Amino acid sequence: MTPQATQTAHKWIDANRQNWSAWCATIFDFAETAWREYRSAEWYVKRLRAEGFDVEEGSAGMPTAFAAHWSNGKGPTIMAYAEYDAVPGNCQIADTYRAPRRGLSRFAGGHTDPHSALGIGSLAGALAAKVAMEKHGIAGTIRFMGEPAEKVRGSKPIHSAAGYYDGLDAIISFHPHYMLPYCNTCRWDTHCGPYWAAIYEFLCEAPETWLRDEAAGNPIAVAHTSARAPGANDAVVSMFQLSKQLRDHMLPHTGTWTLNETILASGQATADNLAAQMAQIMYAARAPDLAMLRKIFAVLDRTAETAARLAHCTVKRHWVSKSKPGLANHAMAEITYRNLERAGPPVFGPDAIAVAQRLQSELGLAPMAQPFAEELSRLIAPQEAETRIRREIPAWQTHYTSDDYTDMTWHAPTARFYIGRASLKAPPGFAYPEWAMNALGGIPATIDPTVACAAKTVAGTILDLMSDRESLTAAKREFAGRLERETDRKPWCDYAPPLDFPWPDYVETRHGRQWWIPSTAADRALERK
């Protein structure tokens, strides 16, 4: 890649800061959750079309997914992507005090990682690379994907199985940093591991058969004086409790596997003497390998059957995600890290420091002259980050933590890199509340440095891969070699997009846009004028 092309891309990012900063704030404010990111996806589609991309909406049968591409002639096809789903229960205004976004319940969605910065950092990088390719006559195609529901590792296994990553020459995956040492660095050997998630749906559709003899002599099978069937709510409670009790027996506590659950919905609308007809609970398991996942879900399946029998229900398992572990690519890590070095670490200037100090004051702390964690201003070589992470996990463990970019790594050489996001130093014994980190991810002064650094790294990496055919060939050769050693190469996704479940969502009411849980006086009391 010519230095001039890199400079052109970096200058475009700097010159357009006001634009992409506003874009990032827009997606942060939408804060739509898994499978329901309608406004966010619509925004990306319109923006990409305005920038000259051809866009397929609703890719792979997912209404909030998209697939876009722009070509400058025959050459490599390089992909970047956006995520834009938020997390229920994390509604936070982009300010230095705790409050939901105006007019909403504090239980509404909010960006935690934040995916708002992830998507806009990647988009700004792709657009900057496009400008440089046009100006300097660099041939190639940029693919840009819209990936909903990352928090349940949702879209990428489905896109993978549907062939949307086929034919790519390389893929670039960016994420704001969320743990050390993955801050201003790239993954090396130890990539994210596999993940399974499923909804167990309990149905009590024949409650009148719970006590057959009594029901036979009662003209009203569900009379309020009758003993009622336990029903679906009881089944979910039983499964919840049994799973907690059995967790220690599923696998020994090694390999950093985790199992999390969330209760999605209940078919009981009142406290009447009627059996709840429907209830759902989702389990999500992260593990270093497939064997562990199979054991975990074998236990969950048996537990679900037991809970269903106890509560006079039937049960059905619905897959939400079957996401593969990641394949490393050293050549891609080296190319990407080289461009991170050119971009330099994010710079949190006076405006960001002032924001951080106001937040510290809000929390009753003495504002620090240098409030940000020192790691944010440093780069760490991928090999050094790998050495540090290997100290924390067993020697036999090949994968660590969870993210669904991993499904992409089976289709093309992939780089996974992290840029530091605003994290504050803490006095001894003090822990910052979650809302504080969420707020810093939405305030332009504290999130824009992350976006700028990511965009420059994405743009430079795209341009390198387009121009430096020797480096791209090395990455593709390494990818082919790693894939050849794998016996299980096919996507794991064998299910339809799990769209028709009661995922939480915003609704339009006569009062305007609301979360499905309405705002209350307690929410409004947190707002400040």
Whether 447 and 359 map to the same domain: the answer is yes
CATH for 27: 3.40.630.10
Q: Quick: pLDDT tens for 408-417.
A: 999 999 999 9
Residue 60 within any structural domain of the chain: yes
**Does a structural domain hold residue 491?**
no
160 shares its domain with 212: no
CATH of residue 284's domain is: 3.30.70.360
CA neighbor of 149 nearest in space, from 139, 159, 141, 140: 159
Same domain? 230 vs 105: no
Residue 490 within a domain = no
Which residues in the chain land under pLDDT 70?
1-2, 213-225, 252-253, 269-270
pLDDT of residue 273: 78
In a domain, 505, yes or no: no
The tens digit of pLDDT for each residue in 314-358 reads 999 999 999 999 999 999 999 999 999 999 999 999 999 999 999
pLDDT for the residue numbered 224: 62
pLDDT at 3: 86
Residue 223: the pLDDT is 56
265 plus 351 within the same structural domain: no
Residues 433 and 385 both lie in one domain: yes
CA dihedral 122, 127, 133, 134 (to 10 degrees): 170
Tell me: do 343 and 434 sit in the same domain. Answer: yes
Peptide bond into 181 cis (omega under 30): yes
The pLDDT, as a whole number, for residue 217 is: 52
Q: Count of domains in the chain?
A: 2
d(CA 72, CA 48): 15
Residues in contact with 427: Cβ distance below 8 Å, sequence separation at least 6, in sequence order: 365
- H/E segment holding residue 172: strand 170-176
| Residue 513, domain member (yes or no) | no
Q: Are residues 131 and 259 in the same domain?
A: no
Q: Are residues 47 and 126 in the same domain?
A: yes
Are residues 26 and 136 part of one domain? yes
Q: How many CA atoms lie within 13 A of 317 on its CB side?
A: 17
Q: Does the global pTM surpass 0.75?
A: yes
Residue 186 three-state SS? strand
Which of 297, 323, 349 is the C-terminal boundary of a domain? Answer: 323
Average pLDDT, rounded, for the chain: 94
Q: Confirm whether 529 is domain-assigned.
A: no
* Domain membership flag for residue 188: yes
Residue 489 lies in a domain: no
Tokens of 128: 């900057």
DSSP 270-335: S-SSS---EEEEEEEEE-SSHHHHHHHHHHHHHHHHHHHHHTT-EEEEEEEEEEPPPPP-HHHHHH
Instruction: Assess whether 317 and 346 both reside in one domain.
Output: no
Q: Which domain holds residue 286?
A: 195-323
Three-state secondary structure call for residue 146: strand
Q: Residue 89 is encoded by which pair of tokens? A: 């229960």
Q: What is the pLDDT of residue 269?
A: 66
Say if residue 308 is in the same domain as residue 363.
no
So what's the pLDDT on residue 448?
98
Q: What is the pLDDT of residue 222?
A: 52
- Same domain, residue pair 352 and 287: no
